[in-house]
Amino acid sequence: MLSSQIKSNEIVFGSCNKDLLEEIIFYGIGLGAEFVEIFIENTDNSSVLAEEDFITSVSPSFGRGAGIRIFKGKKDGFVSTNDLTKHGLMRSVSQAIEMLDITDNKREVFNGLNKHRDYSLPKKKWINEVPSIHEISEKLLVSTKSLKKNNKIITRKGSYSRNLQEVIIASSDGTYVSDIRLHQTVGLNVIASDAQYRSSGSRRFGSSGMPNEFRLWDHEKAANDVFESSMNMLYADYVDAGQMPVVLANKFGGVIFHEACGHLLETTQIERGTTPFENKLNEKIAHESVTAIDEGISKGSFGSLSVDDEGMEPEKSVLIKDGILKKFISDRAGELRTGHKRTGSGRRQNYSFAAASRMRNTYIAKGEHSKEDLINSISDGLYCKSMGGGSVGATGQFNFAVEEGYLIKNGKLTNPVKGATLIGEAKEVMPKISMCGNDLELAPGFCGSISGSVNVTVGQPHIKVDSITVGGR
Amino acid sequence: MNSKEITIQISQAADSLNLKKWDYGASFSNDYSVQVDKGEAKQLKASQKQILTIRVWNESNIVGITTTSDISESGIKKALNQANIASDFGNKNERTEFSPLAKDPIEVKDSKERNPVGIKKLLTLLRQAEVKLLESHESIKSVPYNGLSESFYERVYANSDGAFRSYTKSQAALYLYARAEEKNKKPRSSGSVKLGYGVEDIDIESCIKDASNKTISHLNYSSIKTDKYLICFSPESFLTIINAFSSMFNARSILDGVSLSNKNSIGEKLSTEALNIYDDGLHEKNISSSPFDGEGTPTKRLCLINKGRLENFIHSESTARIFKTIPTGHAGLGSKVSVSPDWIVVEKSEENSDLKTSLDHSTYEGEFVYIEELNAIHAGVRASQGSFSLPFDGWLYKNGKKISIESATVAGDIKYLLKNIVNIESNQEVTTSGISPHIWVDELSITGDA
């Protein structure tokens, strides 16, 4: 995989590039940069789409490029290019230096790159271990066939994508790292229809660094789950809008924390002055039942990394402990501009984005209650079994769609309801998470933000929010 | 390599691999952008990017595709090889061909291509804009989201049948998103975006003024009671909702079973007779116009809704063949070719006698909700079901006063919305995604927390 012809004066994946990288960093430092970072990637991706009983799309792609970042004081210049020759990389360094208008003669010291930390060695075989297009196609077709359970299902889709990214990271603090990342994701979608009624159902599964995971995926279980969800929602009434208590299911229910609070704990938000939690370290920002964690180390989880995109190993960051804010998620620029120590969270979609502080596997820790305890405690509310996407605005206001919801009446689940949107503001909702279940589970997702779309997991046990605005009709 | 050389390179590589039928789309771009933070440069960016998408037809005339950023000789050969391998898995039930219009003449407007002003000039202009915006009102404390960028790009389409077309363009964008804070009140934010062919075409002063006025207008806010309201959609918000449900006009979505329309929907009455909607990618106000689509089909103006009735669908080559019509210039280039609208134009038709023309957002004194901007479209729209539930920025007009609405959503059904249009104002406004007048809709649900 990812091997290129060996050429002089060009980055070659799988070879030692130390001399060339040092030369480029020396060049940047010599021109007056205070810090030089080089991120180089080579990608080999595939995606497959099955619709009904046919493969309708197979899309391989491959590419390579470099992102060069120069810091001077607290500002940075970032240049991306597809040209991995020495000339191309030096030209990018010059461009970044010129953009920053660096003209002074002060020179930083660069002592050369440290010993190569090569995380890629045990991963080089992955490309030969991932399923072939043929194998993927076969399984996707079986999966979409499994969705054909009655004549109300009018659309069936199965999709798979695999991203293999080889990276080299070098910087003037001596960092010299190589890694290979593998992400696989598979999803099923249906649309059900009966007369004027329509519903949809979807589930997505994903893993990192596990070439065999797709083979182990239980497509029958997934198909049953998606089918049941769409059938349950087919004749659902629209939810009545209003303020009410809600129980959010585990797994992807964690998107509420991700959107409502997680983003506000990224140092990019402190830099912008857009988080209400900026000066709240060691203060209570959530109900004492809430402990929240962001980490990049859970084996196989979609947001796990051996090393972040700035060459730092990810740490397990306890963001909130028993309702008290303990830590922010930080990258290099975040540390420089806000003083919060890096957490191994510098992430980017690809070489064309500068890294930024981003979540990895982010979840609310498990509590002591059963799911039934939470539902039984509500006389009139909403159970959000499956969540759609969401977003957070510039003033911390968030919203996200409920894909599958049920009314709670007198402590029991009753009718399915559709069209619900949960709306709120982090600092108002976090103190209202009054009960956490004992059934923590994680779910994969994609998070779009300043440095592009990155793989993450969200997660939580079942949680109860005492009161939240539910948008409906 | 320039685009002609790349075409020759692909042709020669295809010959050497015995691949007779191929096409490709490519994009080459140079982008520059700046961000500032209280007068200081924060991040300055430049990128050179090249993307090449190659399709190859195998001996059974099944298509395969590959995308790459590597346009070296070896990269192109590898891409052709991978596309050829992918063609073994191509869709045998829906064939893809070259567009029959890929060699038709294209309408190339005056490109109005500008020269780069350079990072330093971008930085100076953005710094000045930030200062002016901060000085425009004492409550505006920061401009957390801001940027000024300029892009220069070339797009190309060519195929083994001799089609070759390309164009070059420049585009600049300024966005300013301000944050206002007042004691004992929640922070409020709003902003403005302006586009131009080059930085010199952007009306920076008006962007500052818009961002300031919008932000300040939200300082006095109140929650709204959950109920049904008379709604006035701003041009921008109405275009947002039309674009979100554009699968109604989309032949690809119809074939995929994710549209509210079906093959026989042409002629169906969707709205008041007063409503016309066009897709007009070549409109003179469309800064991002492209003279051809991903399959090389010329872009053209197409009527989607005529006097309230569905008039046309948008097509790619393959959907047009299935619908027994011609491609409309709305295709992407992919393994499964996508179809999407370019630039929506909404206008009042001649059949407008049933409109309540007294409803004018600048003079009407009754109670109504003005929706300035809809948010979180990806989360709150169920296009295949026709429903939406979306947070918005806007105001409640009541007793001759307006007050910003805090934390509310508007929910409904697109067919209900279109059928309940009660007025289409006369003046159209240009936005970044199309042109529309203000549109009034009766009886939509708003959820607030009052």
Q: Using CA atoms, how far apart are residues B305 and B433, in angstroms rounded to an integer?
A: 18
Whether residue A471 is predicted with pLDDT greater than 50 in this model: the reply is yes
User: How many contacts (CB atoms, under 8 Å) link A and B?
Assistant: 224
pLDDT at position B15 over 70: yes
Average pLDDT over residues A90-108: 87
Q: What is the pLDDT of residue A107?
A: 76
Give yes or no for B179 touching A (CB within 8 A): yes
Cβ atoms B223, B406 nearer than 8 A:
yes
Per-residue confidence (pLDDT) for residue A4, from 0 to 100? 41
pLDDT at position A467 over 70:
yes
**Residue pLDDT, tens place only, A389-401:** 766 776 677 878 8
Q: What is the pLDDT of residue A89?
A: 97
User: Has residue B337 got a pLDDT over 90?
Assistant: yes
Q: Describe the crossing of helices A86-99 and A18-30 by its angle, rounded to 10 degrees.
A: 30
Residue A17 pLDDT > 50: yes
CA-based nearest residue to A295, from A318, A312, A277: A318
The structure tokens 């510039």 sit at A394
A195 touches chain B (CB under 8 A): no
- Average of per-residue pLDDT across A416-422: 90
Q: Which two tokens stand for residue B416?
A: 């209900």
Say how far apart CA A289 and CA A373 lie, in whole Å.
Answer: 15
- Would an 8 Å CB–CB cutoff place A390 in contact with chain B? yes
Which pLDDT value is given to residue B391? 87
CA B251, CA B339: separation in Å to the nearest integer? 8
Residue A3 clears pLDDT 60, i.e. is over it: no
Residue A5: its pLDDT value, please?
42
SS3 label, residue B119: helix
Q: Check B43 against A354: CB less than 8 A apart.
A: yes
Confidence of residue A291 (pLDDT cuts 50, 70, 90): very high
Average pLDDT of the residues in A18-35: 95
**Amino acid A421: pLDDT:** 85
Q: Which of residues 16-45 of A touch B (CB under 8 A)?
A: none
Separation CA B404–CA B449 (nearest Å): 14
ipTM of the complex: 0.88
Among A residues 404-423, those touching chain B with beta carbons less than 8 Å apart: 418-421, 423
Residue A377, exposed/middle/buried by CB under 10 A (0-12, 13-18, 19+)? Answer: middle
* Residue corresponding to tokens 């590898």: B78
Mean pLDDT within B326-335: 95
DSSP A361: E
pLDDT band at B448 (very low <50, low <70, confident <90, very high): confident
C-alpha to C-alpha distances, A51 to A48, A332, B250, B256, nearest whole angstrom: 10, 43, 18, 8
Confidence at residue B379, expressed as pLDDT on a 0 to 100 scale? 80
Burial (0-12, 13-18, 19+ Cβ within 10 Å), A6: exposed
User: Would you state the structure tokens that stand for residue B84, as one six-digit string?
Assistant: 């050829």
Tokens of A158: 């199965």
**Token pair 């303020």 in the structure block, residue:** A243
Sign of CA dihedral B15, B19, B25, B27: negative
Nearest CA in chain A to B73: A5
Closest CA to A160 of A180, A177, A179, A143: A143
Q: Taking the CB of residue B185, how many other CB atoms lie within 10 A of it?
A: 12
Average pLDDT over residues B220-248: 96
Q: How does pLDDT run across A107-125, given as a tens digit for each residue?
A: 788 999 999 999 999 999 9
pLDDT of residue B35: 95
Instruction: Give B253-269 pLDDT, tens digit per residue.
Output: 999 999 999 999 999 99
Mean pLDDT (whole number) for A186-209: 94
State the Cα angle at B32 between B27 and B35, rounded to 5°.
135
pLDDT of residue B447: 87
Name the nearest CA neighbour of A419 among A438, A433, A403, A430: A403
pLDDT of A7 strictly over 60: no
Instruction: Note the pLDDT of residue A105.
Output: 67
SS3 content of chain A, % helix, strand, coil (to 5): 25, 40, 35
A284 dihedral zone (left: phi>0; alpha: psi -120 to 50; beta): beta
Cα A167 to Cα A44, A208, A250, A308, B132: the distances in Å are 12, 15, 34, 10, 42
| Average pLDDT of the residues in A29-41 | 96
Q: What is the pLDDT of residue A2?
A: 39
Quote the mean pLDDT of chain B: 94
Q: Which residues pair with A208 in a beta bridge?
A: A183
Provide the β-strand partners of residue A170: A38, A176
Is the CB of residue A172 less than 8 Å away from at least one CB of chain B? no
Residue position matching structure tokens 């990192």: A208
pLDDT band at B450 (very low <50, low <70, confident <90, very high): low
Of A430-439, B89-98, B110-119, the one with minimum mean pLDDT is B110-119
B144 contacts B190 by C-beta, under 8 angstroms: no
- How far is residue B45 from each of residues A172, B149, B375, B417, measured CA to CA in Å? 20, 9, 27, 42
* pLDDT tens string B124-146: 999 999 999 999 999 999 999 99
Verify whether the Cβ–Cβ distance A58 to B382 is below 8 Å: no
Q: Test B379 with A74 for CB contact under 8 angstroms.
A: no
The residues with which A29 forms a beta bridge, in sequence order, are none
Please determine, for residue A429, whether its predicted confidence score (pLDDT) is greater than 50.
yes
Name which residue leads in pLDDT, B335 or A283.
A283
Confidence band, pLDDT 50/70/90 cuts, at residue A8: low
Encoded tokens for B317: 């080559």
Look at the block and give the residue holding tokens 């309940």: B420
DSSP state of A342: P
Q: Which helix (H) or strand (E) holds B73?
A: helix B73-87
Interface test with B, best of A53, A56, A78 (most B CBs within 10 A): A56
Higher pLDDT, A12 or B316: B316
Residue A369: DSSP 8-state: B
What confidence category does residue A424 fall into, taking pLDDT thresholds of 50, 70 and 90?
Answer: confident
Instruction: Tell me whether B52 touches chain A (CB under 8 Å).
Output: no
**Computed over its alpha carbons, how large is the radius of gyration of chain A?**
24
Q: What is the pLDDT of residues B394-434, one digit of tens each?
A: 999 998 899 999 888 899 999 999 999 999 999 999 999 99
Percent of chain B with pLDDT over 70: 99
Angle, nearest 10°, between helix axes B73-87 and B3-16?
A: 60
Q: What is the mean pLDDT of residues B157-164?
A: 98
Q: Do B43 and A352 touch (CB under 8 A)?
A: no
Does the pLDDT value for residue A388 go beyond 90? no
Q: Which chain A residues touch B144 with a CB distance below 8 Å?
A: 272-274, 394
pTM: 0.91
Dump pLDDT digits (tens) for A230-250.
Answer: 999 999 998 988 889 999 999
Which residues in chain A touch residue B83, judged by CB atoms under 8 angstroms apart? 60
pLDDT in tens, B40-67: 898 899 999 999 999 999 999 999 999 9
For chain B, the C-alpha Rg in angstroms (whole number) is 24
